[in-house]
Amino acid sequence: MKNKLIQIKSLLLLSFIIIGLMSSCEYKEYPDSDVPEQAIYMTSAAAATRAPSPTGFYDVNSVAIPGQLFRYVVDPVTNRFNISLGIGRSGISLEGDVNVNIVLNADTVSKLKTSGKLAADVMVLPATAFNLQTSILMPSGSSTTSFPLSIDLPFLINNPNTRFAIGVGITSNDRKATKNLNTTIVLLNTSFLFPVSNFTFAANTTNPKIINFTNTSINGVSSTWNFGDGSAVSTEKSPIKTYSNSGTYNVTLTTIGVTGDAQKSVKTTSVIVN
């Protein structure tokens, strides 16, 4: 009798285990989770509005630092000043080609000036001064792409100390363009295209033939020094020069800007060495 009870208990336990396993293997269908819809936006617009200390404008107003990613490239061979504008794709999936239309927002700058968000002296970049492609393809799997706003370099050089603005936007029939990030307002100040050479100097307190030169030039990419004594030129930013003899030397600093030799500044100063 005792053995039969044990057998019955074992069979019941086995039945419960089998039922549990069948329940755990039962197929259940869950509804699809919401996936964010793909959208496109201008990365240059995001940089203008979301960067530290944002101005709302894509500012091009300073000398590029060698080795760092920058907003423009000067091509002296073709005489073009190319500003890179970017497009990004948001959403979980990057699948699908996206044909993006590139459009000029001609009245945007005028509206910003009327509202006081742009100064009255800012000029609209004339259509004759630049080239802009009308479309670009963002391939499937790509999260970003870019295109140039190519400006005539001689035009910029012929308009020193002038600020120009232009609105460039994107649209697409393939993807929605994110509101407030579908237009980049480029604000270009030509002042930085023109270097200005300047320097100070002081004699060493223990050896007056050692002269410390300090480069105070602005908008320079590179510099060369002629110390006026027939020695080799120096490309150091702020060199220390040891003269062999006392006398008066004409020291010349030449500063090269972003346009190369097309725009350079030269300063010559007499230095008395005791």
Which parts of the chain fold into alpha helices (H)?
A: 2-24, 43-50, 108-115, 153-157
- Statement: residue 20 has pLDDT above 90: no
What are the pLDDT digits (tens) for 97-110? 999 999 999 889 99
How far is Cα 143 from Cα 89, in angstroms, rounded to an integer?
A: 5
What are the pLDDT digits (tens) for 224-268? 999 999 999 999 999 999 999 999 999 999 999 999 888 899 999
Instruction: Read off the tokens for 232.
Output: 């080799």
- Residue 71 has a pLDDT of 92
How far is Cα 179 from Cα 163, in angstroms, rounded to an integer?
A: 27
What are the pLDDT digits (tens) for 172-223? 999 999 999 999 999 999 999 999 999 999 999 999 999 999 999 999 999 9
- Residue 261 has a pLDDT of 86
Closest C-alpha among 266, 260, 264, 254 to residue 225: 254
- Statement: residue 94 has pLDDT above 90: yes
What are the pLDDT digits (tens) for 133-163? 999 999 999 999 999 999 999 999 999 999 9
- Residue 50 has a pLDDT of 78
How far is Cα 144 from Cα 46, in angstroms, rounded to an integer?
A: 13
Q: Alpha carbon of 170 to those of 85, 97, 128, 142, 198: distances in Å? A: 11, 15, 21, 17, 44
Q: What integer best gives the mean pLDDT of the chain?
A: 88
Instruction: Read off the tokens for 67.
Output: 């080795």
Cα distance between the two ends of the chain:
125
- Statement: residue 24 has pLDDT above 90: no
- The pTM score is 0.81
Res. 33 pLDDT band, cuts 50 70 90: very low
